[in-house]
Every structure is written in structure tokens, then in C-alpha cells.
């Protein structure tokens, strides 16, 4: 019998940490089901995504470790998903330790290590700082570059 693994995530701004999570989860079984959070579910959590659900789901669907993508529309669906998809193992990142132990009577629950030095939250924070540079500052920087060119020409 095939061992089905399930994991959940928003997968916004897909990065190597996401890829590592999916690879690790896939290595724990024969089939990997990935639930991608819908835009509506994220909004209910107070989370804003940059990439729409359909595109995030399509990206995840095309990762070679993933066998099936389903929408995550609520916190409560996890137990139903475990039963519906015949899940043997529920895998999440270690930042969720203990949060899904209630599933352990129905399947094995594993918390996987995070990838050091990368997170969507940090990427968004960096992007916000990068984008917060004023138009005037950018134009001043171009003026400085132009002046340097003239000085060294």
C-alpha cells in the first residue's frame, strides 16, 4: 500500500526553503499531496499574498516532488483531508511544532527542519524596504552615478 504524505502552505514567493520542505516531505512516502492556502483563507488569517492562489497552486503542481495539489480553505479541513486522501504522514515545518499533534491518532505527524537563512516573511520585509525608496532618492542616486561617470571620463 502506498504511503501518502500531506503538507500545507501558502507558498507565496516560492523559494528554496519551500523546495526543501516539499523534497523532504516527498522522501517520507510514496505520494505527496500539497494543500495550498487560498487567497480567501489567507485574508482571513490577516495574511496578504503577492501571487494569486491559482498561480501558486500551478507552481507547486509543477514541482517534481508533488503528486497532487488541493486548496486549503480552512484550518478545520486537515482532519477531513487526512481521511479523504488516506494520509499516513502529516508533515509541516518545525515552526509549527505541536500545533497539529491532534492529528496523531489518525496519522504520523512530523515537523521538518526549516531551511536556514530564507523565509517568505524576510523576503517580503526586504522587498518592502527596497520598494520604500523614494523616487527622489532614486533620481539623486542616478545623478550621483552620472557625476561619477563624468568625473572618471
Which residue's entry shows cell 497539529?
100
**Residue closest to 3 by CA, chosen among 82, 106, 88:** 88
Catalytic site residue 78?
Answer: no
- List 47, 78, 83, 124, catalytic entry: 47
What would the grid cell of residue 58 be? 500551478
Catalytic site residue 124?
Answer: no
Nearest-angstrom CA–CA distance, 88 and 132: 46
Nearest-angstrom CA–CA distance, 114 and 120: 12
- List 45, 78, 99, 124, catalytic entry: 45
**Residue closest to 35 by CA, chosen among 47, 25, 44, 50:** 25
What would the grid cell of residue 118 be? 530564507
Q: Which residues are catalytically annotated?
A: 45, 47
Amino acid at each position: 500500500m502506498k504511503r501518502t504524505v500531506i503538507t500545507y502552505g501558502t507558498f507565496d514567493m516560492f523559494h528554496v526553503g519551500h523546495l526543501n520542505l516539499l523534497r523532504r516531505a516527498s522522501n517520507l512516502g510514496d505520494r505527496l499531496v500539497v494543500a495550498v492556502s487560498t487567497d480567501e483563507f489567507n485574508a482571513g488569517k490577516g495574511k496578504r499574498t503577492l501571487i494569486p492562489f491559482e498561480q501558486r497552486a500551478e507552481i507547486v503542481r509543477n514541482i517534481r516532488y508533488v503528486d497532487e495539489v488541493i486548496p486549503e480553505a480552512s484550518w478545520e479541513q486537515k482532519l477531513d483531508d487526512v481521511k479523504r486522501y488516506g494520509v499516513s504522514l502529516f508533515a509541516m515545518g518545525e515552526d509549527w511544532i505541536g500545533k497539529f499533534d491532534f492529528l496523531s491518532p489518525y496519522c504520523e505527524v512530523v515537523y521538518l527542519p526549516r531551511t536556514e537563512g530564507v523565509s517568505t516573511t524576510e523576503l517580503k520585509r526586504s522587498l518592502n524596504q527596497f520598494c520604500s525608496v523614494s523616487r527622489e532618492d532614486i533620481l539623486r542616486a542616478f545623478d550621483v552615478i552620472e557625476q561619477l561617470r563624468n568625473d572618471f571620463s
